[in-house]
Amino acid sequence: MNPRNRGVLVTGGTGALGRAVVARFSRDGATVHVPWVMEAEVPELKQQLGGLAGRVRLHRCDVTSEAEVASLFKTLETDGQRVDVLANIVGGFVFGPVDQTELAAWERMLRLNATSAFLCSRAAIPGMKARKWGRIINVSSAPAVNRGGSNLGAYSAAKAAVQNFTESLAKELGPWHITANSIVPTVIDTAANRKANPGADTATWLAPDEIAAVVAFLSGDDAGIVTGTAVTLSRG
C-alpha cells in the first residue's frame, strides 16, 4: 500500500517517542491520527511537526477507556477515515520492589501498556480485515522478553502481556494480511530520561527518530513477512 494512501493512528503521539513516530509517518505522506489527553504536550507536537502539521489530526481521547476508544473509531468511520496502521506507543513506567508496589501502580501499568493496546487493536481490526491489509506495532521491553527484572515487577508484567498479545494477534490475523509486531528498545534518548539519569553515558541510547524509522519499516509492504516478532533495538 502506498504510504500516501495510508491512515495511521499513533497512541502516545504527543510523547517524546510518539512525536518522532508521528513526524515520520507525516513525512511519508500518511494521514496521522493522534489521540491525546495531556493538553500541555500538544503544542510541542505541533512545533516539532512544523509544516507537516496539516497531515495530523488530533483527537481528545483516553485510549485506556473503552467508551472513548469506541467513540474515536466511530468518529473516524463517520468522517470516512481509516486506520491501516496502528502504532501503540503510549505506555507507562514504574520502578520499585514488589512488596512496595501499590495496587494502583500495578493496575496503572496494565492499563497504560496492555489495555490501551488491546482496546485500540480491537477497534482497528474490523477495518483492517475488511481491506485485507493492516499493520499493528506495539512497544514491549527488555525485561518483558528476558524473563523479568528486579524492581520492575509491575512494568515487566504489563509489557510481557503486550508481547504475548502481539504474538496472539500475529497468529490470529495472518489470513487477512495483517501483521503484528513489537519493538523492544533499550534506553531512549529523551529529555525525561536525561533528567532521571544525570551523568549517564548516553552513547548507546537510542534516538527517537531511529526508532521511528523501524516502526515505519514494520508498517510497510516490505515487512509483510515479518509478524509475531519482538524486534530488539539496541547498539549491542
The whole-number pLDDT of residue 2 equals 63
The whole-number pLDDT of residue 222 equals 96
Residue 163's CATH number: 3.40.50.720
Half-sphere exposure of 187 (CA within 13 A, CB side): 15
What is the rounded CA–CA span in Å between residue 57 and residue 33? 5
Please, what's the largest Cα pairwise distance for the chain?
51
- Asked whether the beta carbons of 137 and 215 are under 8 A apart, the reply is yes
CA nearest to 93, candidates 155, 142, 15:
155
> Could you list the mean pLDDT of each consecutive 10-residue stretch along the chain, which spans 236 residues?
83 97 97 96 95 95 98 98 98 96 98 98 98 98 94 97 98 98 95 91 96 98 97 93
∠30-56-3 over CA atoms, to 5°? 5
Containing structural domain, residue 21 = 3-233
What is the rounded CA–CA span in Å between residue 161 and residue 171? 16
The whole-number pLDDT of residue 236 equals 82
Q: Is 64 helix (H, G, I), strand (E, B) or coil?
A: coil
The number of residues in the chain equals 236
Q: Is 183 helix (H, G, I), strand (E, B) or coil?
A: strand
- The runs of H, that is alpha helices, within the chain are 16-27, 42-49, 66-78, 103-109, 116-131, 142-145, 153-173, 191-196, 208-218
What torsion do the CA atoms of 66, 72, 73, 75 make, to the nearest 10 degrees?
140
The whole-number pLDDT of residue 5 equals 81
Phi then psi dihedrals of residue 33, to 5 deg: -105, 130
Number of domains in the chain: 1
CA nearest to 10, candidates 27, 29, 32:
32
